[in-house]
Amino acid sequence: MSGEEDKQNITLNPFEIAKRQIDIVAKMTNLNPDLIEIIKHPKRILEVSIPVRMDDGKLRVFTGYRVQHNDARGPFKGGIRYHFQVDLDEVKALATWMSIKTAVVDIPYGGGKGGIICNPKEMSQPELERMTRRFTWEISGIIGPFRDIPAPDVNTNPQTMAWIMDTYSMSTGRATPGVVTGKPIALGGSLGRNEATSRGVVICAREAAKITGVKLKDATVAITGYGNVGYNAAWLIEELGAKVVACSDSKGGIYDPNGLDARKVRKHKSKTGSVKGYAGAKDIAGKDIIGLDVDFLFPCALENEITSENVDQVKARIISEGANGPTTPEADEVIFKKGIFLVPDILANAGGVTVSYFEWLQNIRREYWTEEAVNEKLEYRMVKAFHEVHDIAKKETVHMRTAAYVLAVGRIATVMELRGLYP
Ligand code: NDP
């Protein structure tokens, strides 16, 4: 590997990025350096082998991870990702960001994350079920409604959560819905959970628009990723009068300056497997979405979408990050200097974990809340967190990501200080 390649790999390693972001806070504040050091290390990492009998009778052994980053403020909380690019450093970063995120929106959780290296698009439902159940069994000793509560992430969904809930419940001998969130409604899922992450992305975009003076009516929006987060963000921002002019998935992108129809694009994708080829829109390369001249950009796919390589092309006035880790620290600085208002992932996409918390509360209290009640509570928490972060950003003249870290790391460190070091 050349020196340049080596540097690039370090720059794009999400766990290195997560640690650098914590270091930035350490330099800015007078938090106890010992606590900062602890926060930079995940508390527990479990790697498991997952043998699965495939439909053709052959055996395959998958590798899975559960990383428990920090539980000073409450049980570990975070999704499970199925993707061929899952690796341990990615899971460690995502777990760290979960601890930060739960602290930004001030819910009584820590952070964790899981993943399995697999290509779910090439697996049948029975194969996915067998893999999920065996993975759950392997991690069942460290999860639980008061220990560590998984949820959906890329390529996992309410059905995956139902299998985890059932497998875990078999091991405890009683129905334990609170062990996962993002479940189907019939199984104790919460109304509003499916769209919650995107609702948060859109609430943050709306608040940022008020501050920057961008009008939502007829504003233009570009979205990368058209899964749970990207699609729901598309129709939600349309409801506020904006036009989604471009979107993409792993196969490519589409562009129509007159505005797409979010639900029709979704139908087209369900039929054909991609947003590409949507009638009336122009097919474009997925990577071109980042550079479109739009009012809002919602990166809703994977990490490292906006990097030092393409940040100069960004023309959006507001970025609200649906994905985790879509912008590298180098790109963050350029965006800040360009005067673009960026709402960072740890705030913008925290609506998902916030409604996961509401789901968990409903499960442990055996209650059911209406969708209006859920959305109202989500709105309150997101707006409050947004302005707490924005107040720090203004006071310290830093960008919103650093401000969010200052708030979150401060909250985690305060609790750790009070609890003290065991033994
Ligand atoms: P999904 O699996 O539902 O969707 C992911 C989308 O990203 C898919 O449309 C996929 O394309 C697309 N994608 C993958 N690679 C690329 C690429 N190279 N270029 C463009 N698009 C691509 O996942 P979610 O929507 O749940 O998650 C998306 C992001 O949001 C992740 O970063 C996740 O961690 C984050 N997030 C999710 C939360 C949730 O509640 N679901 C909560 C907080 C954060 P294709 O459809 O072709 O596979």
| pTM for the whole structure | 0.96
Look at residues 66, 68, 22, 65 and name the one whose alpha carbon lies nearest to residue 43: 68
Q: Assess whether the C-beta atom of 228 lies below 6 angstroms from ligand 1.
A: yes
pLDDT tens per residue across span 136-149: 999 999 999 999 99
Q: In the predicted model, is pLDDT for residue 211 greater than 50?
A: yes
Q: Which domains does the chain have, with CATH numbers?
A: 41-176 (3.40.50.10860), 196-348 (3.40.50.720)
101 has catalytic annotation: no
Question: How would residue 11 be classed by pLDDT, with cut points 50, 70 and 90?
Answer: low
Centre of ligand 1 to C-alpha 26, Å, is 31
- Compute the distance from residue 173 Cα to the ligand 1 centre, in Å: 34
Q: Would you place residue 7 in the very low, low, confident or very high pLDDT band (cuts 50, 70, 90)?
A: very low
Report whether 220 contacts 294 (CB < 8 A). Answer: yes
232-253 pLDDT, tens per residue?
999 999 999 999 999 999 999 9
pLDDT band at 12 (very low <50, low <70, confident <90, very high): confident
323 pocket-lining for ligand 1 (C-beta < 6 Å):
yes
The minimum-distance atom of ligand 1 relative to the CA of 301 is: 7
- Label residue 277 left, alpha or beta by phi (over 0 means left) and psi (-120 to 50 means alpha): left
Q: Does 4 have pLDDT greater than 80? A: no
Cα(47)–Cα(52) distance, rounded to whole angstroms?
16
Give the number of other CB atoms < 10 A from CB of residue 8. 15
- Which residue has the CA at smallest separation from atom 42 of ligand 1? 352
Can you tell me the mean pLDDT for 320-334?
Answer: 95
Give the torsion sign (CA, 403, 406, 407, 409): positive
- Ligand 1 pocket residue status of 120, Cβ below 6 Å: no
Task: Using the predicted structure, report yes or no on whether residue 192 has a pLDDT greater than 80.
Answer: yes
* pLDDT reading at 5 higher than 70: no
The pair phi, psi for residue 44, each rounded to 5°, is -145, 140
Mean residue pLDDT across the chain:
96
What pLDDT, on the 0 to 100 scale, is given for residue 1? 32
Q: What is the pLDDT of residue 2?
A: 36
Residue among 302, 320, 357 whose CB has most ligand 1 atoms within 8 A, to mutate:
302
Mean pLDDT, to the nearest integer, of 42-65? Answer: 98
Q: What's the pLDDT at 317?
A: 98
Radius of gyration of the chain (CA): 21
Q: Which two three-digit tokens encode residue 192? A: 């509003």
Question: Which is the catalytic residue, given 19, 92, 101, 113?
Answer: 113
Q: Among the atoms of ligand 1, which is closest to the Cα of residue 274?
A: 47
Q: Where are the beta strands (DSSP E) in 192-317?
A: 220-224, 243-249, 252-255, 282-284, 296-299
| pLDDT tens-digit map of 60-93 | 999 999 999 999 999 999 999 999 999 999 999 9
